[in-house]
Amino acid sequence: MESLGPMLARARTLHGWSQLRVAELLCAASGTATVTRHEVSRWEREERVPSGWWLGWLSLVLEVPVGKLAAAAGQTRRGRLAGVARPARAWDRLDRKEPSVPAAAEG
C-alpha cells in the first residue's frame, strides 16, 4: 500500500497543480487560511501527517476517496512508529566535507 506523501504528490501532479495551488484550494474549500505551500510540502515529504479534518478537505480538493487517504495516513503513521526511515531530504544526500581552513599566513 502506498503511503500518504507519494499519494498526495501523485494526485496533485495529476491535476497539474503546484503545492501553492493545493494550499490555496484547501484554504478556500475549508474557509481556514492556515494551510500554506510549506505545510503541503511537509505532508508530501511525510514530515507531518494531516489530521482527519484535513484529510476530508484533501479528499474533496484532490478528488481522492477519503478512505484511501485515511488508509495511506495510517500506513504512514505505522511506518513512523515502526522506525521506518522517512524519505531522505536532498541536503542529507549531499557529500559533507569539512570546511577548509585557510593556512595561517606566513610572516
Ranges assigned E (strand) in 1-104: none
Residue pLDDT, tens place only, 54-88: 999 999 999 999 999 999 999 999 987 776 555 55
pLDDT at 26: 98
The three cell numbers of residue 49 are: 501527517
Nearest to 23 by CA among 3, 5, 41: 41
**Domains delineated in the chain:** 4-84 (1.10.260.40)
pLDDT at 96: 47
Q: What is the mean pLDDT of residues 18-36?
A: 97
Question: What's the CA gap between 23 and 104, in Å, rounded?
Answer: 52
Computed on alpha carbons and rounded to an integer, the radius of gyration of the chain in Å comes to 19
Residue 7's pLDDT band (cuts 50, 70, 90): very high
pLDDT at 16: 98
pTM of the model: 0.75
**Mean pLDDT of the residues in the chain:** 85
